[in-house]
Amino acid sequence: GAVVSQHPSRVICKSGTSVKIECRSLDFQATTMFWYRQFPKQSLMLMATSNEGSKATYEQGVEKDKFLINHASLTLSTLTVTSAHPEDSSFYICSAIPGGTAIGYTFGSGTRLTVV
């Protein structure tokens, strides 16, 4: 089945540093990937749509300069949280659509970011 691999699963970083999260489609190509943020006991909030070979599309209220997205190949999208602050601590999840909607959106296992 379609698998989306996300790495790292958890990361702790100091305030002011940058953190990169990787999202890979392992057995399919994904021209589009999605990045979500999830606060405790809440639903998933779409941050941006990552498009292979072009700029990401950010949702309203999401700072594009803070959350840098790069989708350089058909199997890899990265989210970089720049100059991280404690309020950026959250659970970040990526997803992709393998082979159209017939299979449904597949999610990565998430990254727990803690900024200290």
Binder of other proteins out of 22, 32, 62, 114 (CB under 8 A) = 32
Q: Residue 10 or residue 16: which is nearer to other proteins going by CB?
A: 10
Token pair in block for residue 52: 């292979």
What H or E segment, with its residue span, contains residue 48?
strand 44-51
Strand partners, 76: 24, 73
d(CA 106, CA 35): 12
d(CA 53, CA 32): 10
Residue 46 touching other proteins (CB under 8 A): yes
Beta strands in 52-96 (DSSP E): 57-58, 67-73, 76-81, 90-96
**Which residues from 76-95 bind other proteins, rule CB under 8 A?**
91, 93, 95
Residue 43 touching other proteins (CB under 8 A): yes
Residue 54 touching other proteins (CB under 8 A): no
Binder of other proteins out of 11, 52, 70, 110 (CB under 8 A) = 110
CB 16 → other proteins: shortest distance, Å? 26
What is the separation of C-alpha 80 from the centre of its chain, rounded to a whole number of angstroms?
9
CB 5 → other proteins: shortest distance, Å? 11
Q: Which residues bind other proteins (CB under 8 A)?
A: 4, 6, 32, 34, 42-44, 46, 49, 91, 93, 95, 97, 101-110, 112
